[in-house]
Structure 1
Amino acid sequence: MNPHLSQATAAGAADDVAPAWDGDNEQWWDWYMSLAEGGPETALVDVPEPESGPLPDEPAVIAELAVPYELPLGAAGAFAADGFVVLPRVVTPGAAEVLRRRLVDLLATTTGSSLRAREMMWLEDPLVRAAVLSPRIAGICAALLGHDTLRLYHDSALCKEPGAGRTPWHHDAHHFPLDSHDVISTWMPLQAVPAAMGPLSFARGMDTWRLLADLPFDKVGTSYDLRVSEALREAGVVVHDEPFALGDVSFHSTLCFHTAGANRTTRPRMVLGATYYADGARVIDHPTMVSGDWRLFVPDTEPGQPAASARNPIVTGPLPDDGSGLVR
């Protein structure tokens, strides 16, 4: 039995995820991280503390995030074909450091054992709110998805501690209880992420998930993670596994299989993430334990109803086509 499961969620076969999750989302992350096959233990690599230098004040960071981002030529096509794209210089080093320090404060009371996580920070913190509701970040997502009107599912702070292990292979369509594939997630590292720190890695190909659709999930052990890895290797799927420079942000589809390596460095790996979906999506009829405490993110909403609660604000409106190439 997996020690992170309650009697109710542990019941049934290993691939039976029908029960609802009955803990909080910090407990969910402890459980989910336990489903990753471990890699070889190696000594931690010393990573120096980020050089802060003069930092912008909060209004300057908010103003930066309100400026449209010019998508590189071919970025939307790459996202449509591959299921993900990594964009350079989405945030400046100063803004990343200000955000990193804010997330350190917000995570101070979390208790996760290897990956400390917190969601819905935008409800209480104006800087996080400006980031996840920003025209810059949400506008990129709207352009990549090709939808004018997106809603926020939730934000997330993810702090992978020194020595923490891998995040298992997964795709978010298995997690988010939404009846739409028009869902996109951002991964904004708030420091450079070398290979030893465990960058996010992506299985290339928007349709790659079809190769894995019949693999049985394993809620108690690491067999699903292993089967996905083996299936990708046998099919010759290319895995994008590259370090992130400071300022890089990735955007991946809910269908994109991805994983993240262990943090084999001496410093925490801090990330600000967020997920958005096309307006009109509904909560699926039978959310499972893999969705965690989804009612925290979509309250006052029953299965089958539109996912349009007060905690799912519209973050983008119609995008004018002025030929400039800017996401507005």
Structure 2
Amino acid sequence: MQGNIQISELNQPYSLDKDQITRYGDDGHILLRGLASQSLIEHYRPQIVDEVKRLNQETRPLEKRDTYGKAFLQIMNLWEQSKLIEPFVFAKRFAKVAAELMNVTGVRIYHDQALFKEPGGGYTPWHQDQIYWPVDTDKVITLWMPLVDVPDEVGSMTFVSGSHKHGYISKMEISDMSHQTLKSYIESEKLPQANYGALQAGDATFHAGWTLHSAPGNPTAHTREVMTIIYIADETRVLEPDSNARKSDLERWMPGLKAGDPINSRLNPLLYRI
């Protein structure tokens, strides 16, 4: 019975108003409070944490890792690994919000990932997610949901408002160099930055694939546990990969597809359609 209650909640719509949709279109990011209830988080968080522990292969101490490795533990596609977690990742409630914010009729999953920033974990450099994705669209969006409360000192993400309209700014992958290069760009262009501050478990931010963003390190003794889901507009086609990162993503997240194909592999099921 408990499982049925959770599934029912995952299918319940979250009400967006026109101002929120407009704001996302203008800024390339938005915060939605209470997208997942506390009961949903209490149900799914232990399962996600257990899978992260089971699948994590990073055993080096923080001081032995590079900047990317210090930023977070990153575990991909938990829905493939756990039938218990799949309903959370495939939630129509979340997917419908993604479709409405992007003003599209349907969305497919690109992939999910758990991002756990450990105690003492480093900063996440400025970057654009979409440099990694061989997708022929700008209709891509990421849900970023903390599974625990995130106080100000732990740090949620900082976004550069309107940067999604600038498109492909730099091909540099996440690194100290990307941080410095994009930081200089942000400052020279005098681009506005936004941070939503403290978040509660179950709150969620959404940001576009081209939106510049970063996050500070974690100075606390508690892990910042976050679950993310990346959505692409239905009927999007594969873009010819122009980098090794995009070639790797094509092989991993869209198996069997090639440039020009509709993105509909076994790993990209349709999650919502109007």
TM-score of the aligned structures, taking structure 1 as reference length: 0.73
Aligned partner letter, 2:83: P
What is the alpha-carbon root mean square deviation over aligned residues?
A: 2.2
Structure with greater proportional helix content: 2
Once the 2 structures are TM-superposed, how far is the Cα of residue 144 of structure 1 from its aligned partner?
A: 0.5
Report whether the alignment pairs 1:111 with 2:66: no
Report whether the alignment pairs 1:180 with 2:137: yes
Residue 179 of structure 2, aligned match among 225, 228, 242: 225
Residue 5 of structure 2, aligned match among 34, 50, 60: 60
- 1:267-305 Cα offsets, whole Å, 9 max, x none, are 111111111111222222125233474222111112332
Once the 2 structures are TM-superposed, how far is the Cα of residue 218 of structure 1 from its aligned partner?
A: 6.6
* Residue 78 (structure 2) aligns with: 121
CA distance in 2 between partners of 1:135 and 1:123 (Å) = 17
Paired residues of 1:169 and 1:258 also in contact (CA < 8 A): yes
CA distance in 1 between partners of 2:3 and 2:123 (Å) = 33
* Residue 167 (structure 1) aligns with: 124
Report whether the alignment pairs 1:315 with 2:271: yes
Report whether the alignment pairs 1:250 with 2:195: no
Once the 2 structures are TM-superposed, how far is the Cα of residue 130 of structure 1 from its aligned partner?
A: 1.2
Give runs of aligned pairs for residues 1-328 of structure 1, distance below 5 A: 57-109=2-54, 110-112=56-58, 113=60, 114=70, 115-207=72-164, 209=166, 213=169, 215=170, 217=172, 222-241=176-195, 242-291=197-246, 293-294=248-249, 295-318=251-274
- Residue 179 and residue 249 in structure 1: after superposition, are their counterparts in 2 closer, same or farther (change >3 A)? same
CA distance in 2 between partners of 1:100 and 1:163 (Å) = 22
CA distance in 1 between partners of 2:225 and 2:171 (Å) = 31
Deviates more, 1:102-111 or 1:221-230: 221-230
- 1:49-74 Cα offsets, whole Å, 9 max, x none, are xxxxxxx9443322211111011451
Number of residue pairs aligned between Structure 1 and Structure 2: 260
CA distance in 2 between partners of 1:303 and 1:198 (Å) = 38
CA distance in 1 between partners of 2:163 and 2:171 (Å) = 21
Secondary structure of 2:85's match?
Answer: helix
CA distance in 2 between partners of 1:69 and 1:218 (Å) = 34
Gaps of 5+ in 1: 1-55, 319-328
Aligned partner letter, 1:67: Q
- Residue 183 and residue 216 in structure 1: after superposition, are their counterparts in 2 closer, same or farther (change >3 A)? closer
Secondary structure of 1:99's match?
Answer: helix
Aligned partner letter, 2:103: G
Once the 2 structures are TM-superposed, how far is the Cα of residue 102 of structure 1 from its aligned partner?
A: 1.1
Q: Which runs of 4+ in 1 moved over 6 A?
A: none
TM-score of the aligned structures, taking structure 2 as reference length: 0.87
CA distance in 1 between partners of 2:163 and 2:25 (Å) = 7
Once the 2 structures are TM-superposed, how far is the Cα of residue 311 of structure 1 from its aligned partner?
A: 1.2
Aligned partner letter, 1:226: Q
Aligned partner letter, 2:145: M
Gaps of 5+ in 2: 61-69
CA distance in 1 between partners of 2:25 and 2:232 (Å) = 16
Structure with greater proportional strand content: 2
